[in-house]
Structure 1
Amino acid sequence: MAGEILDNRGRGDAHWHWPAVHPEGRKFALITAAASFVTALLAWETLAWPLAFLTLGVLAFFRDPERVVPQGDNLIVSPADGLVSLIAQVEPPKELIVDDGSGSAGLTAGPVTRISIFMSVFDVHINRAPIGGTVRRVVYIPGKFMNADLDKASDENERQHVLVERPDGLMVGFTQIAGLIARRIVPFVKPGDLVAGGQRVGLIRFGSRVDVYLPAGTDAKVVLGQTVVAGETVLAETGTQKLIEGVSQ
């Protein structure tokens, strides 16, 4: 199905299938499966069964389902699965603003809308590009491992900033943030790479958060408390400002 065009008039072929497991997770599943097998041979059933269930949990955590990415030059799609836990007007991280010596400009200083998406251990943890274009920056920052649901996690936790520039010059930055359990941010891209909107660009192991910095003059099309899907949910349309309200029910 990957690369197939589907539309709102029924074109394409859609059917459910078991999601693939990302290669990053296969080694962990192999280790737990081997441990379960060995303990079963030794008749240590009190360990064998929990290890078997842990293997299934690892496979589920690293699942990598296909996504149907909305197409449109003005669309910004969610880079992560999870809960919209914070929406605020903030200054973008300095790492995405200051001159990094690469010859490519960063984001313009000034308050913009930041959408924070919290990923629990039950969410898919593959992160995707919010727009198509050229990766201009990938900046890793070591830090703490406090609860990723806290606002200050954006400034204090281990994190990785990514900046993508569209062909027309518009830039969107996002930050992968480690959490209490997460201990590694794994990038799939580097500066200079070309990415499509919704393309896989990295993952964070075992619970975390992603912050998205919308361009100036752009409001979120999602509301606080909404569950979003990486590569599919439209977070914003560039240049659009409108109050959107939701009702919890």
Structure 2
Amino acid sequence: MSNRYALVPERVLIARTEGQITFRDVTVFAAIAMHADRNGTAFPGTKAIHELTGIHGDNVRKSIASLKAAELVEHIGGGFVGQNAIYRVATKASQNEPPIDPKGGSKNRQRRVQKKEKAGQNDPTQQQTTTKEQHMTSDFLAKYSNHPDKTLNNAERFGRSVEFQIWFELYPRDDKPNDAASAFPKAVKALAERFGNRDEALKYLLDRTLTFAPLGREKGRYCPYPANWLKSGGYDAVLEDGSNHSESPCKLPAEIEEVLL
């Protein structure tokens, strides 16, 4: 999955972390990315985004405006206000994202990896089909979003897949996708018991993770809610003081703790 397709690329998550866009905007971005991924050049309009996400048309347009301001989405045709307007992911936001190295890594190491990958592009024996590589994450998300709760409508199922995509994008790369999948509902459940409802729990979880992950990555402390925290029963301690009681210590900077708590 070295160049896997990201439904919610890192630069979108960073824009959310920096406060340029809201979580609703992220959902709208994901809808545009998913629609284009499934339909090739058939980019979605306001009505299609509403049907996929359940977000009201006026709010879709507000999110589009925010995404355009952040240079994450482009308006490519039709009336901007009406349902005939169509959008696509901005060029710089649609490029495949390299995986985040959970252990940091020097610039020289990154250059060696990039050089090796570039060399492999000209070697037929090293190439993989673009379709398989780009759809790997989307297929996994589709499987995850097939929630056993039959009361969920399509928009709610899509919302669950976007929630998980954010978690998955920020999850340590040393862990397998299935580990991330099993940790996610456990984390939401643990927080739901604390906050009393799932929505508040999810908001806290994603906002906290989004805020911390870029800072932790830059300082070589990239470890947002790994599964071993949950398995070791240290989740409450993580919530209270940001410390990781596993083998690799990880603590939130004090100034970030003040924002999140």
| TM-score, normalised via structure 2 length | 0.24
Q: Which has the higher helix share?
A: 2
Q: Which has the higher strand share?
A: 1
| TM-score, normalised via structure 1 length | 0.25
